[in-house]
Structure 1
Amino acid sequence: MIGVSGSGKTTWVNSHKQYIACSTDSVIEQLAELMGISYTEAFDYIQKKKKFDYITTKFFEKIHDCILNDKDFVIDRTHLKRHIRISLINELRSFAKEHGKNLELVGVSFELPKSTIFERLKKREKHSGKSIPKQVIQEQIDSFDIPTLDEGFDVIERIN
């Protein structure tokens, strides 16, 4: 998945149940539920306690399990920067090759108007209490590199 927060990535994932969803958000949501707090409070706790390494480790464990067991999966993160996507793709292909597996990597890129993103985020905040500051979203929009096949994808699906 590739796109700004609020662009529809998780909604897409939830409507494609044939894939195992891998996301750092789901690890944070599990922690929030376990602690009886909101997502935002759990995220703040993770930042304060510097627990992002733990979150990232759990995230990659799930991806590696999918690769090793030939399960179709989707990575639900923003992946806004080209160099981040290339690094991840290289890491996944290397892990797969090391274990005798082959990957077909499809990028799903959410390239929506800014007004649609802000509208969706407002609805999400009312519904779930999960909020992201407008400045953070604007920074994401400004830093979004449109994905290209030369990053290592086999296919790119664009959602406008």
Structure 2
Amino acid sequence: MFNCSIEFLSNTAISAPKAGGKDDVLIANISSKTQIQQILEKMFEISNRTNFSFYKRDALTCENIEHIIFVGAKKYYHNYNCGFCGFEECDACKQNGAYCALTITDCGIALGSLVKLASILGIDNRIMLSLGKAAIELGIIKDVFSAYGVPLYVGPKNIFFDRKY
């Protein structure tokens, strides 16, 4: 329904400013009804397993979406030894299983760029960690330690506005 806009949204996330200009963010588009349904079913499973009701709420909210853009933080370390991750050196961050704070920040900047453009284009959206968690658990999104899904919807009423827990 809005394929040209999807390309613009993906491009704005890809080209968002990143620390050192490094390619540390994954952008993935899903428009397959089958994959979207699998993701929503996984969100119900996660909700039941964890007792976090927002997974179920988000799955119910997304029943009529046609597209999700995922933004994920790759397992990438900038090696600046900046300490923002809580460790003095990047090697200590890696050895302790932590993740680069700059990569996480880059993911957030890409998300902000994406949802702002979607808003300008009149496409309703939300940033949902629940979609990202489900897609990672299903193996649909790979090679990231964290991902967020941005469901997109165009219709007479914003389905993301008055969600209930």
TM-score (norm 1): 0.30
Which structure is higher in RCO with an 8 Å CA cutoff and minimum separation 6? 1
More helix by share: 1
More strand by share: 2
